[in-house]
Each structure stands twice: as structure tokens, then as C-alpha cells.
Amino acid sequence: MKIKLTSILVDDQDKALEFYTKVLGFVKKRDLPAGKYRWLTVVSPDDADNVELLLEPNDNAAAKWYQQSIFVQGVPFTAFMVVDVQQEYERLKKLGVVFVQKPTNSGPTTKAIFNDTCGNFIQIYQSNRVADTTEENDIFDQLISYLN
């Protein structure tokens, strides 16, 4: 079993596609009709055949409540790994991205949190481990970073 698709709730699919591609740098992978919405996914340009991120409309009352509740609490909906948080922070700030947390060292990771303009806080993080960068440690770092 492996993760091939995950989703993020968005309040507007067109706005989300614009932000996730033009600002964050993801690439549109699928854009298919799905009722009144679309099956709309983006991927990392460095790994287009791996995990897809579905820009999922928050049209469901429970989903909307969940998204708004964690947003009010300041909890990131998801986290994206970057090579250099400070560099990515500077790049995104120049593009007008609003950060609610500047790059902060949390021990095993350094993280920053921004508003994706679609109803979510998103965390970016980098591993502070130098010697070991295996996939297992990347997953561990994501968990630790989220819990911090």
C-alpha cells in the first residue's frame, strides 16, 4: 500500500489552481469534469508521477466546518517539504504570500506557515538532519514538525 493521492479542501478550485501552480510552483496533472466541480490535481514538477494533490471543493458542510475550525485554531491543513525554508519563505513573500509564522527552528525541522488564500494554513518545512535523509526520516520529520 502506498499514498498516491491526497486532498486539500479549497473554497474555490480556480483560485486554488492559480495559487498552487503560479505561486507555489506545482504543475496541473488532471482536470476532469466531476459534476458541478472538477477532479483537479496538482503535482510536484520534480516528481510528477508520484503523489497527486486533489484540490477538493469544500462543498460538504462537515468538510467546511472542519476546514474553518482548524483554520481558526491556526493549525496547518498539510505540510510540504522544501530544501531550504528560509529561501522558500523569501521567494513566497516576494510573490505576496502571507505568512503567519516565519521560519522557526523546531529541533529536527525548521518550519514556516502561510495562508494559501483558499481557506487553509500550509506548513513548509526542511529537515535539520544532515547525515540521514532517507524517506523514513522525511516522514518522521513531517510528523515531528506537525506536532511542534
Residue 143 has pLDDT above 70, yes or no: no
CATH number of residue 126's parent domain: 3.10.180.10
User: For residue 137, what pLDDT is reported?
Assistant: 63
Average pLDDT over residues 57-79: 96
DSSP E strand boundaries for the chain: 5-10, 27-34, 37-43, 52-57, 78-81, 99-105, 109-115, 121-127
Q: Count of H helices and E strands in the chain?
A: 4, 8
Q: Is the pLDDT reported for residue 5 higher than 80?
A: yes
Range of the domain at 64: 5-147
Our count of domains for the chain comes to 1
